[in-house]
Chain A
């Protein structure tokens, strides 16, 4: 049984007991506990079931690297799956539930998979579920989805809020252990602006657990002193519970601060994502202990030696009463010694190293009377839900059992791997350190910044130095070196803190225990606990030809779990190297990708959700629309009324009413969103002649002209009416969506190609409210407003003029996108609402109604006017749309002209614009394709056209459409077939695209 000890627990506040539940069971811990230590203290060793075989799993680690201890935390809007018990601080009322089991943690039906493990080797998904193909969708996938996976996806909307912070500093130090503290202090003393972040709530890392002294004082005192100095410095910012998540280009680093995961009832955001731009980054991220690969190394009770030490020293928790220590190095002896000091039994230390060791820690353990067996190993661990003993053997042999030792816990240590993730994220290279059997940062190949120089430096264990005095020297040198690079200078005489030196004997690399383990043992030796990958799986992958470490990873899922292989990767690739009979460096590592440890998606989203997800653009008339039944549709970031619904009316009915009313009486459209670009300068005419396909320089002041704009590829990108204001000024109307992009397009050519042309462009889109006054009664309405002559004689079709209407200064354009008598009137944005109100008032007796974008679409479609984005899709040229009349033949050049001369553009088989009339009057489905005779090389029916716009026209009381059809204009009257997705085939006759008022008499009155 694991239990709380009477003494110890340097992080505990035993005056503050806390109540929590695990799987509904009431438990008790103390302030300072993690959920992991509290579970252990309550005798809860088993914390979950494994992913594939549903084997019972206990805690293995004490920090972010823990692979097994994942729980569902909280409920409803506070629900969080896959919370790691080792990084979850205990709080009053915490509710945790274990994952991946049914019906219960203790009794799980899925555990039958373990019995079938012989049939579930690496890649079994690919092998087993290939045939029959149809079974995948209906049988295999639903079953696998149900039985696989970790936590439950949250159902309720997240109650919490999240935020982003931006920060800038000279030196960002990641990791608040003794190395990070030392590096930060050194850089700060030199004068740099320093930010120091630590992922846990405690400073000092694991050095205080491992003992020793610094500058003649216990490590805890050293940490306290250095911390109080750092706190007193103005140029230092300290953040606990803040993890360095990812290192990106040019010193961009994301840090993840968990503000109140430990105190959910306090107000404020839950997480904060720091977006830091640092001149230099110091990663003092420490090292992680590696497990050993022996049979039964996943049985609850088998734990990393360092983790077991953490639980005893930090939390006063014992993992078991009798612990066998198995190691290939000196460091694990510290665990044996700590356990002994806590009054617990250590029946044996199994040390794989053959020769007697006489280093300090070995001598200490021996002096405590612990039985030390050199050259020994674990053949297998006994027990199922809990360790009951170990069978021991020679490391050099094949696992023949020499003796069984009863015990209830096993502490294992396979050596240490520096945490190189953050070093590697942005391209830092690694070198294999054969002596310490680990990958260390290659200082000659750091991640490089904007200036081409390295911007990340490692400090302490992260550099691959593990002895306390080496760690402090390395960290001091890192702080000094970084400060010097940034032109800061450390005061003379400042040197590294001095630590007592503890000589350790070299470790012996052990990747398989025992060395010659049989297949039977290898099948029970786990590499990746969370994803259930065993030594035998990696060997099988190698045997089946997955020789690249990246392929092996994906085939076996080694290191793909939420712990990202923190414990398993090095052991896995060493196993692969062994199977391939090559050395570890030539196998290499998989790519380290951010974040270091999973972070909440909500934190990445930050404030951007709900109303502030994206900025919304509103016209000056938006509030009126809202108050008058508008149903809005997004057009870019604008919200435009789609239709104005009246009580009891469907959207469709509203649209039909608006069309009829506009054709018969008077309609008002808020056209404020249309792009309004002012182009001015001595070369403005020449410039517009290059941008538009037709001639704009010859336009007379006071006149308007419809123009087309193409990209240099020849494709139609925008259209609109251009008005010439004076000798050197033109106002270009663009589509709503095109205002910003066309402005950018103009600027691009002016700045990067014709930079010597004297032209300025200003985007005036939001400066004006623009109202289209449309319909037979339009003129009367304006006359009733009074102030200017709007007669046919004074203001002809395609003319504009400035004047006053109803006391408002206005610019009136006599243009029409509806085919009706129409005036588009621009007023200052601030007058928009008052002007609209005035129009509604004078229009009251004339049958005025506002109309929305769908009505606008129908009006223009009835007239055969194209719409950018409907008739065009980035592959359509003006010639396809029969717009030859808008292509100047007088001009030598315009953007797109050369491209339109390319052979494919001139191909007579390009689909051309026609009108389409269903034979039965119904409405063609949007986007439907027309089919012709025969099939293509894939056996599909040949396509001969498609629908680009389709509506029910209330004016004609029938379906009308436009489409692009092969040889369309030559096939007038022909009926073609459009199969719909509803199974029906629609027949439509090819007709002229102008359905209504072909002579244009209505707009020209």
Chain B
């Protein structure tokens, strides 16, 4: 059971307080979008073995959403950060690179 830090309320708590909601930093496509773009937005998800950016909600706590950078293989958490951003912040990227020098964000 993961031990997770909520960047919104500052609490570090058991995974059962939280809920994972899949890949972060998706771009929404609405009416007028091509079938390919819409399909990719709605259904296609990265499933990396290694570094992954995820959406989480502190469901049984403050109720707020946040993002998490996590290794899907070792369950190492590189950091949690605000959901109100379109890309991972620099300090999170720096931490990932320090821990995973070979990481390729766009394989």
Contacts and interface: CB of A to CB of B under 8 A. Distances in A.
A452 B99 contact: yes
B31 to A, nearest CB: 5
Contact of A452 (B15, B42, B76): B76
B65 A897 contact: no
Contacts of B35: 902
A755 B38 contact: no
Given A250-B2, A452-B74, A751 B65 contact: yes
Contacts of B83: 751-752, 755
B1 A248 contact: yes
A450 B15 CA distance: 12
Contacts of B30: 893, 897-898
Contacts of B71: 452
Contacts of A451: 76-77
B48 to A, nearest CB: 16
Given A450-B76, A748-B65, A751-B83, A713 B42 contact: yes
A899 B42 contact: yes
B76 A448 contact: yes
Interface in A875-902: 892-893, 897-899, 901-902
Interface string A708-725: 000011000000000000
A448 B76 CA distance: 7
Contacts of A249: 1-3, 15, 75
A752 B55 contact: yes
Interface string B14-29: 1100000100000011
Nearest to A451: B76
B31 A902 contact: no
Interface string B35-60: 10010001000000000000101010
Contacts of B61: none
A252 B31 CA distance: 46
Contacts of B28: 753
A898 B75 contact: no
Contact of B75 (A448, A712, A753, A892): A448
B43 to A, nearest CB: 9
Interface in A57-94: none
Range for the number of chain B residues in contact with chain A = 20 to 34
A427 B33 CA distance: 44
A897 B64 CA distance: 27
Interface residues of A, number: 28
A753 B2 CA distance: 26
Contacts of A450: 2-3, 75-77
Given A452-B74, A748-B57, A898 B84 contact: no
Contacts of A744: 57, 59, 63
| Residue of A448, A450, A744, A901 most packed against chain B (CB within 10 A) | A450
Contacts of A427: 74
A448 B74 contact: yes
A898 B38 contact: yes
Contacts of B76: 448-452
A277 interface: yes
Interface string A187-212: 00000000000000000000000000
B65 A899 contact: no
Interface string A734-760: 000000000010011001110100000
Contacts of B59: 744
A859 B84 CA distance: 45
Nearest to B37: A898
B26 to A, nearest CB: 9
Interface in B74-97: 74-77, 83-84
B86 to A, nearest CB: 10
Contact of A901 (B21, B31, B84, B99): B31
Interface in A750-802: 751-753, 755
Nearest to A427: B74
Contacts of A897: 30-31
Interface string A893-922: 100011101100000000000000000000
Given A448-B74, A452-B74, A899 B1 contact: no
A620 interface: no
A681 to B, nearest CB: 16
A479 interface: no
A32 interface: no
A273 to B, nearest CB: 14
Contacts of B31: 892-893, 897-898, 901
A241 B68 CA distance: 39
Contacts of A898: 29-33, 38
Nearest to B59: A744
B25 to A, nearest CB: 10
B96 to A, nearest CB: 11
A975 B99 CA distance: 68
Interface string A134-172: 000000000000000000000000000000000000000
Nearest to B65: A751
Interface in A952-983: none
B10 to A, nearest CB: 16
Nearest to A426: B75
Contacts of B42: 712-713, 899
B65 A250 contact: no
A741 to B, nearest CB: 11
Contacts of A712: 42
A427 B57 CA distance: 27
Contact of B38 (A448, A748, A892, A899): A899
24 contacts: A249-B1, A250-B1, A250-B2, A250-B75, A252-B1, A252-B3, A252-B14, A277-B3, A450-B3, A450-B75, A451-B77, A452-B74, A712-B42, A748-B21, A752-B83, A892-B31, A893-B30, A893-B31, A897-B30, A897-B31, A898-B29, A898-B38, A901-B31, A902-B35
Query: Top 6 closest A-B pairs, CB basis?
Result: A452-B76, A250-B3, A755-B84, A751-B65, A252-B1, A893-B30
Given A249-B15, A755-B84, 6 more contacts: A448-B75, A450-B2, A452-B74, A751-B65, A893-B30, A902-B35
